[in-house]
């Protein structure tokens, strides 16, 4: 049977590899899925395999086992990936934006390569729209506004609005050669993927009357997520998406998921880290710069979108591995940064140990290795299949809290948790808030006419507060996780008896709701006893009462 994994041995390893891995001694291009070396042409090149073998202090037996895991982790990512491939035609029109006239030579060089080149001063450009292969530039010439179309743009020190568009490259950031390589590689056809999966049914922006969320669009560094304010629909432009995952880490509801490593795939992946310390390294980091030995039990985990990890991912990895996590990265996103602080505070309160370390060079990493302490007592597994982000985090955190009262942890600017308060004397149990809550944090319970709330799955969006028709009734408490059992369970927020219809005896509304409507309508109905009686009747009996009274009056009139 064709093996999926290939190990191209350039160093002469002196121990056997698992039988799932084909050992080759020269470059090859078999139909392999994962390789340790780009010359063993597989679909996925996993540089962390050689890195681990060269740097790890694990025993030979551990290495044999762990190398197999590293292949399997990559294979799992491939099997679960939900991305699709797309392409966009890219013509040869390039706009160079600069005031540097010495770039005439570059213009000539590009023309020789069959590019059509235009030069513009940055001061002439007002706006850039569209995407790679179809960019629209608005410019000012004297008092006139003009539109110019091009496929790609080379812009030295480009402003933020321009850098948000796909197809705009800044040689001041990429180096001239790097930027030119982009132009050349993209010419003809540009290939891209969808990195984001979106579930509007739990989105806190989608079709709401007022805007209570939009975090994803706020943190997106490009124009890949746009809010259509009129309809309250999110528009995703996959061609503009870099796949960084920043939106996923801040999405409170879990409406966004990463197609390269969906939540459920990550849950399976973390099983490979049982008993190991995960050293998370974004792909963009240069492994050759980590020149210290890896402490025994440390296993690299290379991730694509360096920003997509959120609290449910990281708590899963901590509780499955029983060890801290180390992030080796030069950048932590706003969402992931908030989550790291929150989890560290929680682990300090519970285990008096740090959960997640962040470093960006070997010296820092060596220091972290010296102080690493595991916490096997935190290990916990759940089946995450079918669960949403908040439900996963709630189940895991509740187990960690384990009946204690560990106080409160403040959440942050980008990660929101909280609670609500209901003034029961003002609540008529109209259940508008239940209809407003799309994550089932607020629920109606007909068995005892109660309104219940589970704080741990509430996204703190505040839409229930906006929707509640009563005054001084529902208040959202912002930005804190209460580490005690009641925060994780359904609490009764308001409860009432049912009022029975004066005519048919069927219960039809809560006592408070009937009393409230009666209090408003009684002065309007004056002494009209029939109308007053209808206030205490169900919808079916109201017209009957009115009709009966009408007929009686008619009959009286006739008999007179």
Binding flag, residue 442, ligand SF4 (CB under 6 A) = yes
Burial class (CB in 10 A: 0-12, 13-18, 19+), 208: middle
Q: Considering the complex, state which of residue 368 and residue 437 has its C-beta at the smaller distance from ligand SF4.
A: 437
Token pair for 82 = 């939900």
Q: Considering the complex, state which of residue 140 and residue 421 has its C-beta at the smaller distance from ligand SF4.
A: 421
Q: Considering the complex, state which of residue 477 and residue 502 has its C-beta at the smaller distance from ligand SF4.
A: 477
Q: Considering the complex, state which of residue 185 and residue 211 has its C-beta at the smaller distance from ligand SF4.
A: 211
Interface residue with ligand SF4, options 21, 261, 298, 439 (CB under 6 A): 439
Q: Are 257 and 277 in contact (CB under 8 A)?
A: no
Contacts of residue 537, Cβ cutoff 8 Å, sequence gap at least 6: 501, 502, 503, 504, 545
What's the 3-state SS for 152-200?
EEEECCCCHHHHCCCCEECHHHHCHHHHHHHHHHHCEEEEEECCEEECH
Binding flag, residue 494, ligand SF4 (CB under 6 A) = no
Q: Least distance (Å) from ligand SF4 to the CB of residue 203?
A: 3
Cβ atoms within 10 Å of 62's Cβ, excluding its own: 15
Binding flag, residue 463, ligand SF4 (CB under 6 A) = yes
How big is the site for ligand SF4, counted in residues (CB under 6 A)?
27
Q: What is the DSSP letter of 485?
A: G
Dist. CA 301–CA 282, nearest whole Å: 8
Binding flag, residue 213, ligand SF4 (CB under 6 A) = yes
- Residues of span 236-255 touching ligand SF4 by CB under 6 A: 250-253, 255
- Residues of span 179-208 touching ligand SF4 by CB under 6 A: 203-205
Q: Least distance (Å) from ligand SF4 to the CB of residue 327?
A: 22
- Residues of span 51-110 touching ligand SF4 by CB under 6 A: none
**Contacting range for ligand SF4; rule: CB under 6 A; set: 167-175, 183-191, 291-299, 433-441:** 433-441
Q: Least distance (Å) from ligand SF4 to the CB of residue 209?
A: 12
Q: Least distance (Å) from ligand SF4 to the CB of residue 463?
A: 4
Contacts of residue 550, Cβ cutoff 8 Å, sequence gap at least 6: none
Binding flag, residue 437, ligand SF4 (CB under 6 A) = yes
Burial class (CB in 10 A: 0-12, 13-18, 19+), 426: middle
Q: Considering the complex, state which of residue 53 and residue 461 has its C-beta at the smaller distance from ligand SF4.
A: 461
Dist. CA 314–CA 393, nearest whole Å: 9
Q: Least distance (Å) from ligand SF4 to the CB of residue 355?
A: 24
**Contacting range for ligand SF4; rule: CB under 6 A; set: 57-65, 163-171, 352-360, 461-469:** 461-469
Token pair for 10 = 């350039």
Binding flag, residue 223, ligand SF4 (CB under 6 A) = no
Q: Are 239 and 192 in contact (CB under 8 A)?
A: yes
Q: Considering the complex, state which of residue 253 and residue 534 has its C-beta at the smaller distance from ligand SF4.
A: 253
Question: b/e map of 126-149 (b: 16 or more CB within 10 Å)?
Answer: eebebbbbbbebebeeeeeeeebe
Q: Are 274 and 321 in contact (CB under 8 A)?
A: yes
Q: Least distance (Å) from ligand SF4 to the CB of residue 201?
A: 10
Kind and range of the H or E element at 371? helix 362-371
> Where are the alpha helices (H) located in 402-461, listed in sequence order?
432-436
Dist. CA 141–CA 234, nearest whole Å: 35
Binding flag, residue 214, ligand SF4 (CB under 6 A) = yes
Interface residue with ligand SF4, options 94, 256, 287, 473 (CB under 6 A): 256
Binding flag, residue 464, ligand SF4 (CB under 6 A) = yes
Q: Least distance (Å) from ligand SF4 to the CB of residue 466?
A: 9
Cβ atoms within 10 Å of 6's Cβ, excluding its own: 23
Interface residue with ligand SF4, options 77, 130, 171, 462 (CB under 6 A): 462
Q: Considering the complex, state which of residue 110 and residue 256 has its C-beta at the smaller distance from ligand SF4.
A: 256
Binding flag, residue 476, ligand SF4 (CB under 6 A) = yes
Residues that bind ligand SF4 (CB under 6 A): 203-205, 213-216, 250-253, 255-256, 420, 436-437, 439, 441-442, 458-464, 476
């Amino acid at each position: 049977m064709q093996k999926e994994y290939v190990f191209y041995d350039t160093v002469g390893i002196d121990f056997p590899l698992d039988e799932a891995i084909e050992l080759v001694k020269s470059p090859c291009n078999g139909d392999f899925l994962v390789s340790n070396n780009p010359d063993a042409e597989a679909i996925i090149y996993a540089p962390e395999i050689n890195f681990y073998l060269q740097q790890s202090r694990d025993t030979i037996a551990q290495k044999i086992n762990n190398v197999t895991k590293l292949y399997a982790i990559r294979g799992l990512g491939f099997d679960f990936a939900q991305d699709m491939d797309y392409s966009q035609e890219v013509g040869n029109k390039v706009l160079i934006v600069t005031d540097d006239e010495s770039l005439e030579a570059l213009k000539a060089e590009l023309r020789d390569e069959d590019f059509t080149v235009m030069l513009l001063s940055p001061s002439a450009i007002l706006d850039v729209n569209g995407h790679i292969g179809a960019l629209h530039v608005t410019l000012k010439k004297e008092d006139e506004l003009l539109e110019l179309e091009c496929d790609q743009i080379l812009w030295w020190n480009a402003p933020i609005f321009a850098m948000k568009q796909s197809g705009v490259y800044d040689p001041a950031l990429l180096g001239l050669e790097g930027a030119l390589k982009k132009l050349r590689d993209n010419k003809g056809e540009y290939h891209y993927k969808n990195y984001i999966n979106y579930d509007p049914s739990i989105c806190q922006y989608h079709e709401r009357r007022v805007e209570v969320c939009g975090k994803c669009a706020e943190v997106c560094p490009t124009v890949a997520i746009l809010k259509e304010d009129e309809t309250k629909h999110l528009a995703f432009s996959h061609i503009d998406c870099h796949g960084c995952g920043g939106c996923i880490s801040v999405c409170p509801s879990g409406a966004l998921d990463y197609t390269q490593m969906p939540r459920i795939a990550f849950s399976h992946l973390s099983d490979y880290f049982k008993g190991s310390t995960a050293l998370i390294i974004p792909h963009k980091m240069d492994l050759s710069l980590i020149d210290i030995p890896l402490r025994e039990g440390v296993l690299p985990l290379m991730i694509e979108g360096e920003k997509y990890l959120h609290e449910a991912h990281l708590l899963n990895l901590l509780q499955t591995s029983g060890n801290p996590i180390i992030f080796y990265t030069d950048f932590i996103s706003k969402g992931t940064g908030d989550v790291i602080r929150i989890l560290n505070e929680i682990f300090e309160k519970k285990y008096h140990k740090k959960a997640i370390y962040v470093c960006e060079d070997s010296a820092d990493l060596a220091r972290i290795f010296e102080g690493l302490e595991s916490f096997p007592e935190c290990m916990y597994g759940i089946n995450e299949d079918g669960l949403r982000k908040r439900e996963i985090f709630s189940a895991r955190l509740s187990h960690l809290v384990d009946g204690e009262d560990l106080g409160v942890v403040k959440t942050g600017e980008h990660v929101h948790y909280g609670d609500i308060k209901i003034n029961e004397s003002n609540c008529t149990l109209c259940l508008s808030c239940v209809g407003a809550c799309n994550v089932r944090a607020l629920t109606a319970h007909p068995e005892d006419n109660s309104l219940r709330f589970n704080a741990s799955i509430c996204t703190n969006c505040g839409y229930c507060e906006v929707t509640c028709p009563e005054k001084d009734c529902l208040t959202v408490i912002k930005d804190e996780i209460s580490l005690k059992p009641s925060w994780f369970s359904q609490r009764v927020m308001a409860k009432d008896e049912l009022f029975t219809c004066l005519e048919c005896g069927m219960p039809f509304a809560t006592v408070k709701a009937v009393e409230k409507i009666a209090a408003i309508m009684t002065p309007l109905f004056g002494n009209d006893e029939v109308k007053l009686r209808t206030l205490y009747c169900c919808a079916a009996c109201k017209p009957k009462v009115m009709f009966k009274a009408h007929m009686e009056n008619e009959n009286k009139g006739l008999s007179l």
